[in-house]
Amino acid sequence: MSIVENYKKILTSIPDTVKLVVVTKTQSIDNIMQVYSAGGRFFGENKVQELLSKQPQLPDDIEWHLIGHLQTNKVKYIAPFISFIHSIDSLKLLKEVNKQAQKSNRVIYCLLQVYIAKEDTKFGLDFEEAEHLLASEDLKELTNITIAGLMGMATNTNDRQQIAGEFQSLNRFFEKLKSITSHNIHFTTLSMGMSSDYLIAIENGSNLIRVGSSIFGERKFNP
Ligand SMILES: *Cc1c(COP(=O)(O)O)cnc(C)c1O
């Protein structure tokens, strides 16, 4: 099947309430434009450098999502255009995002990346650290960010029960945090699920999936 066929097939297989973010890492501008021409407007990259080289070559009405680890010193490069950052893992990073967003007179949606996998290679906060961050007094002063929810990645395993259990635990945490009311905390987005596990993620409460290889085919290298 073609890229466009894959994209449309996934769109029709998920509820309208679930947002499909197309993960374009390692993909050419031409491949990305195929999805754009089919109506795709939500795109995700995991590396700042790659995002910065592609963004100017693509249409302005794309909503860009940074889904990979973000270093504080790189925030300034993406703040003028990024819509969502899925990988917030410290208050320090959040403060920098706020500062740079302010310079561009923008509000950036931020998701806390929470560690749910039984692997120690993944970045993120544990539940306690996430709650601690949300309770921070310093957060109140940040006017140019909105904490819009959580992002998590399940263990890379064939054990569907384990994957479902990890997604469930993040969903329960998300539901609990929804009750927080603050000017810059509005829990609306639960980012869980990629090519191998997005259906399990949706069954367990995800409303944003990040899909690359099921649309474009297997990547030649996996960064
Ligand atoms: C690469 C990547 C994805 C998409 O992975 P696929 O298996 O190609 O769908 C999703 N989320 C993050 C954080 C990624 O780095």
pLDDT band at 210 (very low <50, low <70, confident <90, very high): very high
Instruction: Say if CB 78 and CB 103 are below 8 A apart.
Output: no
Over residues 19-39, the pLDDT tens digits come to 999 999 999 999 999 999 999
Is the predicted pLDDT of residue 13 greater than 70, yes or no?
yes
Map out the domains of the chain with their CATH numbers: 3-216 (3.20.20.10)
Give the pLDDT mean for 155-177. 97
Give the pLDDT mean for 7-28. 98
Average pLDDT over all residues of the chain: 96
Task: Pick the closest to residue 42 from 19, 26, 58 (CA basis).
Answer: 19
- Pocket-testing residue among 67, 163, 167, 209, ligand 1, by greatest number of atoms within 8 A of Cβ: 67
pLDDT band at 121 (very low <50, low <70, confident <90, very high): low
Q: 3-state DSSP call for residue 147?
A: strand
* Confidence (pTM): 0.96
pLDDT value for 93: 98
pLDDT band at 122 (very low <50, low <70, confident <90, very high): low
Determine what percent of the chain is predicted with pLDDT higher than 70: 97
Ligand 1 centre distance from Cα of residue 17 (Å): 20
Ligand 1 centre distance from Cα of residue 137 (Å): 33
Over residues 35-66, the pLDDT tens digits come to 999 999 999 999 999 999 999 999 999 999 99
Is the predicted pLDDT of residue 217 greater than 80, yes or no?
yes
Residues 6+ apart with CB under 8 A from 117: 152, 153, 154, 155, 156, 166
**Which residues surround ligand 1 with Cβ inside 6 Å?**
23, 25, 46, 67-68, 194-196, 210-214
Cα 187 from Cα 185, distance rounded (Å): 6
Is the predicted pLDDT of residue 214 greater than 70, yes or no?
yes
**First-to-last C-alpha distance (Å) of the chain:** 24
pLDDT band at 151 (very low <50, low <70, confident <90, very high): very high
Between 222 and 136, whose confidence is greater?
A: 136
Cα 7 from Cα 20, distance rounded (Å): 9
Q: To which H or E segment does residue 43 belong?
A: strand 42-45
Task: Pick the closest to residue 172 from 204, 209, 132, 148 (CA basis).
Answer: 204
Is the predicted pLDDT of residue 167 greater than 80, yes or no?
yes
Over residues 86-107, the pLDDT tens digits come to 999 999 999 999 999 999 999 9
Q: 3-state DSSP call for residue 42?
A: strand
